[in-house]
Amino acid sequence: MAVTASRVISFARGVPAPECLAVDELAECARAVLERDGKTILSYGPGAGYTPLRELIGEWFGVSASRVVITNGSLNGFVLLSQRLARGKNTIVELPTYDRAIKILLESGATVTAVGMDDDGMVADELERQLRQAPDTAFVYTIPTFQNPTGRTMSEERRKQVVEIAKSANVTLFEDDPYSLVRFDGERLPSLFDLTGKESIYSSSFSKTISPGLRVGFFILPEALATEIGDIATSTYITPVLLAQATVHEFITRGLFEPNLKRVNGLIKARRDAMLGALEKHFSGARWTHPAGGYFVWLDLEPGTDAKEVIARADGVTAVAGPDFGAPANSLRLAYSFVSPEEIETGVERLAAAV
């Protein structure tokens, strides 16, 4: 793919490239569910979501379907959960963390306390100290696998430490896990959800594995809380988008999910490899993460460098500066999922020139 001077190369968009989307297959699935069950899925339905998909997710995770709530993207569920649990309370996040998570928590009336990260994830000693200082904490929010924005993955040993610390403090862990299936290298690590005996809060979505535009996310919650969140969803928007949820269910039950995931991971791995190769080629005096999956690389420029100024000077390249995620001014997030390998090479070269 040729890169023209007029085309903006966006390292800001954490979304799949258009060629990742299985348009024809999804169109067939949507048509099939409409023809088979259109009178149901085009009407109002339960706030907790399309029952067959809830049952399927419950089977995947070894829990009752009554604990599964399907939301209009996982961010929608995050809003509902924060409004229910976090208002007027402390919440703990890792730093840096997803910028929209910070925004949602603050708008929900929560206090946000940050715990630093290292290459193994959230720093356990710091988490323990913060929990001692804030015993009224509603939950600890973490993206342990291929984190947004850093691309880091919490090590297995650190996961066990975090689970033990939260258990000792009697605080809920809220695990946001949209990227773990987008893995290129290495073996899957146990989720915090599994390490807690399936007692923590778990959220994910089909945005990275099937389609972001369908807006199908899900939460696994304690049963009473799942009922509450389903009721809140009903009072908020009356009914979920059953057509989208039924389409996802059809896509999975037709056996399309696994081969599509393999195809998508191949496409995004090529972009990850291009990003790491271009950084190695064009940057010196900087440090960056080496993610084994997901969508993001975190770049730390030399101290004293202003990443926002660098982005502004870069010729037709966009990215997100570290301060948007609560990080230092010399850092930035590079999303490689949307652009082609050729664009990545050109964009990184332009960023390096701007530095």
The dihedral built from the CA positions of residue 216, 221, 227 and 231, taken in this order, carries a sign that is negative
In tens digits, the chain (355 residues) has pLDDT values of 445 445 799 999 999 999 999 999 999 999 999 999 999 999 999 999 999 999 999 999 999 999 999 999 999 999 999 999 999 999 999 999 999 999 999 999 999 999 999 999 999 999 999 999 988 899 999 999 999 999 999 999 999 999 999 999 999 999 999 999 999 999 999 999 999 999 999 999 999 999 999 999 999 999 999 999 999 999 999 999 999 999 999 999 999 999 999 999 999 999 999 999 999 999 999 999 999 999 999 999 999 999 999 999 998 999 999 999 999 999 999 999 999 999 999 999 999 999 9
Cα-based distances in Å from 285 to 277, 282, 302, 303, 334: 16, 10, 6, 10, 17
Q: Is the CB of residue 4 less than 8 Å from the CB of residue 342? A: no
CA dihedral 95, 97, 100, 106 (to 10 degrees): -30
3-state secondary structure of 150: coil
Task: Tell me how many degrees the CA angle 102-108-114 measures, rounded to the nearest 5.
Answer: 35
Strands 296-300 and 317-318: unpaired
Q: Is the CB of residue 346 less than 8 Å from the CB of residue 9? A: yes
Give the other-Cβ count within 10 Å of 34's Cβ.
15
Task: Tell me how many degrees the CA angle 281-285-287 measures, rounded to the nearest 5.
Answer: 80
Give the other-Cβ count within 10 Å of 185's Cβ.
10
Question: How far is residue 208's CA from residue 267's CA, in Å, rounded to a whole number?
Answer: 12
Q: Is the CB of residue 112 less than 8 Å from the CB of residue 105? A: yes
Strands 68-71 and 320-321: unpaired
